[in-house]
Structure 1
Amino acid sequence: MSTKRLISIIVALFIGVILLSAVFTSWYTVDESEQAIVITFGKASDPITESGLKFKIPWPIQKVEKLSKETFSLQFGYKQAPDGEITSFDKDTKMITGDDSIVLTDLVVQWKITNPRAYLFNSENPLEMLHDATSASIRSVIGNSKIDDALTSGKAQIEADTTDLLASLIEKYNIGITVLTVKLQDVELPNDEVRSAFMAVTDAEETKNTKVNQAEKYENQKMSEAIGEKDAIISNAEGIKTSRIEQAKGDVALFDKLFAGYQYNKEITRERLIMETLDVVLPNAQIYIMNDESGTMKYLPLQTLESKKQTNPPTGTNTDTKTEEGSGQ
């Protein structure tokens, strides 16, 4: 076989391989969980998000980069191996709070690729930029928080503030990533001695809050009792006031009636008032009417007449009885 013929065969085989390779590399598949970018001489096209079999010009004219549409997790401050073993990075998680205390903060960032073109071309290492932005965000938020908030009830607010700050930083960097959530995994003190002291302080705070709540409950109870007692006293006083006013009105009416009788017959009214007063002052005494000019005693049973008058009140005419001094009955 001549050299010329051998060269022709080699060239034909080479062209055949190229053509065969072009046929196989012209077709690609996009899965439902993927998004693709077709790069033509270094220029990226719009993202392809619809799944299925796609066609492109063979390499080196066009090539395809596939990126996932799923949500990713960035573990900050620790790393969990497939077998479940956790490795901590205290250097990354050690932070200073706003009241100059040191805490160790681990967290997880949920993120996804929303702009494949920016993710591929705007940053050499977008994951590293995400990690650095996460570190800056959580340190800024922890630096403006008190240690009590970081370790107890303020975690939710710290998560929300970190999410907002990190999302704004990633948006400025424009690396094609969207931050979904930030979840604090663990916030703790750097050693057992400090942790024990803080727990003692926390227990004391809880005890104080319990005592304060009990004192407020006791105060409210006593205030309610005092208000009820005050209202009862005021109500009783109002009743006494009303009773005194009505009694005074009755006394005035009685006095007016007596005064009218006194004006009609002063002597009889005066003597009747004296008798009634004696009956009130000396209710069990026997009253006698005597004549000072003779030794003969004239007896008038006033108590008997009064009791008969009360048991058998007159129903007809009024009877007036006059007794003259010195005359017989």
Structure 2
Amino acid sequence: MQNDNPWGGSGGGSNNNSGGRRPTGSSTPPNAPDLDELLRQAQARFKNQFPNQGNVIILIALIVLGLWLASGIYRVDPGEYAVIQRFGKHERTQVTEGLGYAFPSPIEKTTIVNVQEFRKLEIGFRDSSTGRRSGAKQKVTEESLMLTSDANIVDLDLVVFWNISNAEDFIFNIKDVEATIKKVAESAIREVVGQTKLQPIITKGRDRVAQRAQAIMQQNLDDYKSGVSIRQVLIQDATVHPEVLPAFEDVVAAIQDAETYQNEATIYANDIIPKARGEAIQKLQQAEAYKASQITKSEGDAKRFTEVYQAYLKGKDVTKERIYIETMEKVLKNAKKTIIDQEQGSSGVVPYLPLKQLKSSKGE
């Protein structure tokens, strides 16, 4: 009768070499399984169920190979690039959308990157808004507090928007891109703030500060060949630190007073300067007119004198008498005069002339 005992023994639990010992000669406890015998039995059952085991193994191998080869199929959506590496080295980049194929790992590796997606980096705060709470944010003071050029402290929240401009550089040149962008952005904004006074940062000069910081960020990232493009830098909030707020308020008040005085001075200047210019033009015109009149008068006097002189040369006595008469006419024209009859004076009698009374009566 065939022994059906799976352990290969006689069933009586004897310790002879045929049943109670393993082929290695080491003793085993009673009823312990013989592994070699189990493997032989399993192999026999497999041969009975699959008589053509060679074909089955080939079929399984082909299925596994087909699945492995199929794993190399990938898809590129709009706005995405596929970067293929062969044994770690850049092989090619697919920039057109659609299906593509690369040898599966470990021969080739496919990395899909979105070059159109705008990614956001926050400095000085973290956006913790949820569906119900919009706009909630958590401050990160070790990032937001910065020193200005006039030794003030500003609390600044910055948002940086960036995207991938070169897929190969993005994958191969920088290990941790987001951490690198964050460090570059912090360094750039601190550099610009350190060169700028507080007042422009928190008022109308905020956009200029952001533009300067963006230019520095892009230059540094280009030097690293990071494959990253900084699309926009926004200063969402810039406030004075509470410790320097009183001093800043005094400065703001002084600036406002200065602007007020400057505006008043400008208004006064706009009023007085046109008047002064008008008066200057008027006086200049008067001077020009006086100059012209004097020149004309001088020319006329010279001409008249020349004519008189020419007449004098022709008739000296007549000219002398005419000049005498004209001169006396000018002298006596507005003078007070007393006329004496020549006939009375020629008789040898000196007439009595009460000059004082005459003057007083004429004055009345």
How would you bin the TM-score normalised by the shorter chain?
0.7 to 0.9
State the distance in 2 between where 1:92 and 1:271 align.
106
SS at match of 1:73: strand
Residue 291 of structure 2: aligned partner: 241
Residue 207 of structure 1: aligned partner: 257
List gaps (5 residues or longer) in structure 2.
1-43, 349-364
Find out whether 1:198 has 2:261 as its counterpart: no
Residue 97 of structure 2: aligned partner: 51
Q: Is the 8 A contact 2:85 2:92 kept in 1?
A: no
Identify the range of structure 1 (27-36 vs 194-203) with the bigger mean alpha-carbon deviation: 194-203
Residue 98 of structure 1: aligned partner: 149
What is the aligned counterpart of 1:224 among 257, 264, 274? 274
Q: Is the 8 A contact 1:36 1:64 kept in 2?
A: yes
Q: CA RMSD in A?
A: 3.4
SS at match of 1:100: coil
- Residues 30-69 of structure 1: matches in 2 within 5 Å? 30-69=76-115
Residue 323 of structure 1: aligned partner: none
Q: Is the 8 A contact 1:56 1:62 kept in 2?
A: yes
Amino acid at match of 1:265: V
Alpha-carbon spacing, 1:180–1:270, altered in 2? closer, same or farther (3 Å): closer
Give deviations 1:252-305, integer Å, cap 9, x for gaps: 45555556367143685477447735762369988966475469xxxxxxxxxx
Cα distance, 1:222 vs structure 2: 2.0
Residue 125 of structure 2: aligned partner: 78
Q: Is the 8 A contact 1:188 1:195 kept in 2?
A: no
Cα distance, 1:207 vs structure 2: 3.2
Amino acid at match of 1:108: V
Q: Is the 8 A contact 2:308 2:319 kept in 1?
A: no
Amino acid at match of 2:83: I
Amino acid at match of 1:3: F
Cα distance, 1:200 vs structure 2: 4.7
Cα distance, 1:13 vs structure 2: 6.4
Identify the range of structure 1 (41-50 vs 86-95) with the bigger mean alpha-carbon deviation: 41-50
Residue 314 of structure 1: aligned partner: none
State the distance in 2 between where 1:171 and 1:282 align.
102
State the distance in 2 between where 1:290 and 1:251 align.
40
Larger Rg: 2
Amino acid at match of 2:333: V
State the distance in 2 between where 1:134 and 1:82 align.
23
Residue 358 of structure 2: aligned partner: none
Alpha-carbon spacing, 1:285–1:64, altered in 2? closer, same or farther (3 Å): same
Find out whether 1:147 has 2:147 as its counterpart: no
State the distance in 1 between where 2:160 and 2:141 align.
18
Find out whether 1:133 has 2:180 as its counterpart: no
Identify the range of structure 1 (42-51 vs 15-24) with the bigger mean alpha-carbon deviation: 15-24
Compute the TM-score of the two structures, normalised by the length of structure 2. Answer: 0.68
Cα distance, 1:9 vs structure 2: 8.2
State the distance in 2 between where 1:164 and 1:249 align.
76
How many residue pairs are counted as aligned between the two chains?
294
Cα distance, 1:62 vs structure 2: 2.6
- Residues 267-286 of structure 1: matches in 2 within 5 Å? 268-269=321-322, 272-273=325-326, 276=329, 280-281=333-334
Residue 21 of structure 2: aligned partner: none
State the distance in 2 between where 1:90 and 1:275 align.
104
What is the aligned counterpart of 2:220 among 169, 174, 177? 169
Residue 35 of structure 2: aligned partner: none
State the distance in 2 between where 1:146 and 1:278 align.
81
Greater relative contact order (Cα < 8 A, sep 6+):
1
Q: Is the 8 A contact 2:188 2:217 kept in 1?
A: yes
| Aligned-residue identity in percent | 25
Alpha-carbon spacing, 1:221–1:287, altered in 2? closer, same or farther (3 Å): farther
Alpha-carbon spacing, 1:9–1:92, altered in 2? closer, same or farther (3 Å): farther
Q: Is the 8 A contact 1:30 1:53 kept in 2?
A: yes
State the distance in 2 between where 1:249 and 1:8 align.
141
Residue 19 of structure 2: aligned partner: none
Alpha-carbon spacing, 1:249–1:8, altered in 2? closer, same or farther (3 Å): same
What is the aligned counterpart of 1:3 among 46, 63, 72? 46
Alpha-carbon spacing, 1:268–1:165, altered in 2? closer, same or farther (3 Å): closer
Cα distance, 1:35 vs structure 2: 0.8
